[in-house]
Amino acid sequence: MKLETVGILIDIKPLSERDSLARIFTRDYGVMIGVMRGAVIAKKNRPLIGQVGAVSWNARLDSQLGVFHWEASRNMAALIMADFSRLAMMNAAFALIGALLPERERYDRLYNQTIDFINSLSGCRDVVGEYLGWEINFLREIGYALDLSACAGCGKHNSLNYLSPRTCRAVCDACAAPYIERLYRLPMTLDVAMRLIERACAAQGADMPVARRILCHK
Ligand SMILES: [Zn+2]
């Protein structure tokens, strides 16, 4: 079986003295995992996290760990390499994709949003706002679509200072009063988003990625 598409290299770790295990978020097949032969000892064209490129994936059986052939066309991370906080945002996004998206399930919209987000990182002023925008899109894809436009209880549009983690909808001060300890305080911040991600991790039996957790400990 052979699959060909384009993607973003989101993770790579040594598997042996020569080979690496890589994770690629692809446009057509979502997250794919496979072996990159010789990646550990490559002297030139070494695969790097943040590269985009053409990928082909081969496996004799569909269930086997496949082998990647990777042709990087560009390193999106090149412009942010010296900036720790921007790099940390990119790594958090990649860690969430790797931890919470199922393998081989296509996410067109999120794929494009992820490319746009990484490209915007080098030039944008509000890095946290940019990241949070990406993360809200990501949460929608994994079943936590936020609706902050009106109160879930009474429908009004002002005093929306709480979020119900169960419905992901805003709640006004008056409707929130009886349940206040079960609600999250708005506005949306990295901390509020992390609590939703923790719920998603718990629901999937996944570990909260360290790369995401550290964004909240600065
Ligand atoms: Zn209300």
Residue ranges of domains in the chain: 1-75
pTM: 0.95
12 CA distance to ligand 1 centroid (A)? 47
Task: Give how far the C-alpha of residue 103 lies from the chain's centroid of Cα atoms, to the nearest Å.
Answer: 13
Percent of the chain with pLDDT over 70: 100
131 CA distance to ligand 1 centroid (A)? 29
**What distance in Å separates the CA atoms of residue 178 and residue 153, rounded to the nearest whole number?**
12
The answer regarding whether domain 1-75 maps to CATH 2.40.50.140 reads yes
**Can you spell out the DSSP letters for 42-105?**
-SSS---TTEEEEEEEE-SSTTS-EEEEEEEEEETTGGGTT-HHHHHHHHHHHHHHHHHSPBT-
143 CA distance to ligand 1 centroid (A)? 23
23 CA distance to ligand 1 centroid (A)? 44
CB atoms within 10 A of CB 168: 19
pLDDT confidence of 68, banded at 50, 70, 90?
very high
At residue 135, does pLDDT exceed 90? yes
Amino acid identity, position 150? A
115 CA distance to ligand 1 centroid (A)? 37
Q: What is the mean pLDDT of the chain?
A: 95
* Ligand 1 ion: residues within 5 Å (CB): 151, 153-154, 172, 175
pLDDT confidence of 63, banded at 50, 70, 90?
confident
What pLDDT, on the 0 to 100 scale, is given for residue 218?
59
> Bridge partners of 20?
14, 36
Q: Are 134 and 113 in contact (CB under 8 A)?
A: yes
SS (H, E, C) 158-170: CCEEEECCCCCEE
133 CA distance to ligand 1 centroid (A)? 25
